């Protein structure tokens, strides 16, 4: 793929990531799918290899690496072997939960929570969505009420990535129903807090190894010290952090599209029908040519967004475009990939089949693609 995004340091880092993936990911993919869970040892191994918590400052045990291209390399190497569930778990930790902590945690909280994100001992989750509110987050029902030195949380969340394993959950809750967008706050609920429980592992179309779950909060009393940032700023914090979440999803989509197109090209160069390689039929060839072009053009946009993120200039609108465009393209590439593998494309032993079921969520979570269009549309109509 044409890209000048990386330099020598990233390529050296890639060797280390590839070593981790070949040793600690590939041999376990089937078991993780069967268990509907990725074991903690994988997180700890990733921590030992220096793949987690890259932006955590040295003072809290991390490398303080703010160059997002290193995360990009991790995403690429995971996509190369089709480990989408691991991709989404790592991304939730590093692109989302950690991002909130780095932006809003105070000194005491940083000391308490950041080191575990580097070692892999802490798995984090972000709990915004509820049974009756996903796109429309202002409609959530979970409440947090101040009571002396504590906050008391009541409500339930659903579809929460890493919900079963999470040691630390950032909960988006309503703190003042009369304050509009200023009526929401973020709280950290830790594993073992009385009243905090988890439902079943949700049975999903794809991403089988991802422990997506429902979470329940019944009079969960947490100390005042577990409020993240300021009371009433929760909604604003979401708006600030969602661009990185969306860029992360856009990159995951891009690198998955690149990987699947590669597998598909390998296949159509080998498989024969009517005395020739199936890739020589023009019907397949024109589609492959279109997809290759789209993937390369898309990569240029994604690379630009990564550079802008590094420079601190990536806008929410451009992040929405990256998520919208790359996930739609991923869907097109994988659909063609399944088709061009013929019957084998429908067999789960072929990575393209697993990619097919795993990729469908990409257009739904992190804000649906309709919501991405809304964000872009609003920007177009600005006075
Ligand atoms: C596997 C998985 C993992 C997830 N992980 C997490 C997580 O870790 N944390 C978390 O908080 N959430 C998570 N989610 C939830 C996810 O972000 C939501 O499902 C998503 O935002 C959509 O919300 P919803 O399901 O309530 O759909 P709804 O909001 O009910 O939407 C239904 C349909 O209406 C459309 N729609 C809604 N509003 C508009 C509008 N204004 N304009 C046009 N169309 C609109 C939507 O695009 C969609 O097509 C996850 C979901 C899944 C399936």
Domains annotated for the chain, with CATH where assigned, are 8-122 (1.10.540.10), 125-231 (2.40.110.10), 236-380 (1.20.140.10)
Tokens linked to 92 = 């939730």
Mean pLDDT of 181-191: 98
Residues contacting 274, CB < 8 A, separation 6+: none
Instruction: Grade residue 352 by pLDDT with cuts at 50, 70 and 90.
Output: very high
CA of 370 to the centre of ligand 1 (A): 10
pLDDT of residue 360: 98
pLDDT of residue 2: 78
Using left for φ > 0, alpha for ψ between -120 and 50, and beta otherwise, residue 148 falls in left
Give CA 136 to chain center in angstroms. Answer: 20
Please report the atom of ligand 1 found closest to the CA of residue 364. 20
Tokens linked to 231 = 């009371």
pLDDT of residue 149: 97
Match 């597998």 to its residue by tokens: 263
Bridge partners (DSSP) of residue 227 are 187
pLDDT of residue 312: 96
pLDDT of residue 77: 97
pLDDT of residue 74: 98
Q: Looking at the annotation, which residues are catalytic?
A: 245
Tokens linked to 58 = 């040295």
Asked whether residue 205 carries a pLDDT value surpassing 80, the answer given is yes
Asked whether residue 216 carries a pLDDT value surpassing 80, the answer given is yes
Nearest CA to ligand 1 atom 25: 134
Rounded to two decimals, the pTM is 0.97
Nearest CA to ligand 1 atom 52: 159
* Segment 57-84, tens digit of pLDDT: 999 999 999 999 999 999 999 999 999 9
Residues contacting 161, CB < 8 A, separation 6+: 88, 89, 92, 125, 126, 210, 212, 365
Terminal Cα distance for the chain, rounded: 39
Nearest CA to ligand 1 atom 6: 160
Asked whether residue 47 carries a pLDDT value surpassing 80, the answer given is yes
* Segment 227-280, tens digit of pLDDT: 999 999 999 999 999 999 999 999 999 999 999 999 999 999 999 999 999 999
Using left for φ > 0, alpha for ψ between -120 and 50, and beta otherwise, residue 197 falls in beta
Q: What rounded mean pLDDT belongs to the chain?
A: 97
CA of 136 to the centre of ligand 1 (A): 8
Instruction: Return the HEC string of 276-299.
Output: EEHHHCHHHHHHHHHHHHHHHHHH
Long-range CB contacts for residues 173-176, cutoff 8 Å, separation at least 24? 173/140, 173/142, 173/143, 173/144, 173/234, 174/140, 174/141, 174/142, 174/143, 174/144, 175/143, 175/144, 175/145, 175/146, 175/231, 175/232, 175/234, 176/232
Mean pLDDT of 1-28: 95
Asked whether residue 1 carries a pLDDT value surpassing 80, the answer given is no
Q: To the nearest whole percent, how much of the chain has pLDDT over 90?
A: 99
Instruction: Grade residue 125 by pLDDT with cuts at 50, 70 and 90.
Output: very high
Q: To the nearest whole percent, how much of the chain has pLDDT over 70?
A: 100
Ligand 1-lining residues (CB < 6 angstroms) = 92, 125-129, 134-136, 159-161, 204, 207, 212, 361, 364-365, 367-368, 370-371, 374
Please report the atom of ligand 1 found closest to the CA of residue 132. 26
Nearest CA to ligand 1 atom 2: 159
Match 């921590």 to its residue by tokens: 47
Q: Which of 209, 324, 361, 365 to mutate to test the pocket of ligand 1 (most atoms within 8 A of CB)?
A: 365
């Amino acid at each position: 793929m044409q890209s000048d995004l990386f330099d020598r340091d990233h390529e050296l880092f890639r060797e280390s990531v590839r070593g981790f993936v070949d040793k600690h990911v590939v041999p376990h993919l089937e078991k993780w799918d069967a268990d509907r869970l990725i074991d903690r040892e994988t997180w700890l191994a990733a921590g030992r290899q220096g793949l987690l918590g890259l932006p955590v400052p040295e003072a809290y045990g991390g490398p303080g690496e703010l160059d997002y291209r290193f995360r990009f390399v991790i995403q690429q190497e995971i996509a190369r072997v089709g480990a989408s569930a691991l991709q989404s778990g790592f991304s939730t930790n590093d692109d989302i939960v950690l991002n909130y902590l780095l932006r809003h945690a105070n000194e005491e909280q940083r000391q308490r929570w950041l080191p575990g994100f580097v070692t892999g001992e802490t798995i984090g989750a972000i709990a915004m969505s509820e049974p009756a509110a996903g796109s429309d987050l202002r409609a959530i029902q979970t409440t947090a009420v101040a009571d002396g030195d504590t906050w008391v949380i009541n409500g339930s969340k659903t579809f929460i990535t890493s919900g079963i394993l999470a040691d630390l959950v950032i909960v988006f809750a309503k703190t003042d129903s009369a304050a509009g967008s200023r009526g929401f706050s973020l709280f950290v609920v830790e594993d073992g807090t009385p009243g905090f429980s988890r439902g079943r592992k949700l049975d999903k179309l794809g991403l089988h190894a991802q422990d997506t779950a429902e979470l329940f909060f019944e009079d969960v009393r947490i100390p005042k010290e577990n409020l993240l940032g300021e009371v009433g700023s929760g909604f604003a914090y979401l708006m600030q952090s969602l661009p990185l979440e969306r860029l992360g999803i856009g990159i995951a989509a891009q690198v998955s599209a690149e990987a699947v197109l590669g597998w598909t090209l390998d296949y159509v160069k080998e498989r024969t029908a009517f005395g020739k390689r199936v890739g020589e039929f023009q019907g397949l060839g024109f589609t492959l040519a279109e997809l290759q072009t789209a993937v390369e053009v898309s990569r240029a946009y994604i690379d630009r967004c990564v550079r802008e993120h590094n420079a601190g200039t990536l806008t929410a609108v451009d992040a929405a475009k990256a998520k919208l465009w790359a996930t739609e393209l991923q869907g097109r590439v994988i659909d063609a990939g399944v088709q061009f593998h013929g019957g084998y494309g429908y067999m789960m032993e072929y990575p393209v089949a697993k990619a097919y079921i795993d990729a469908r969520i990409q257009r739904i979570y992190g804000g649906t693609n309709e919501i991405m269009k809304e964000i872009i549309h609003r920007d177009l109509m600005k006075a």
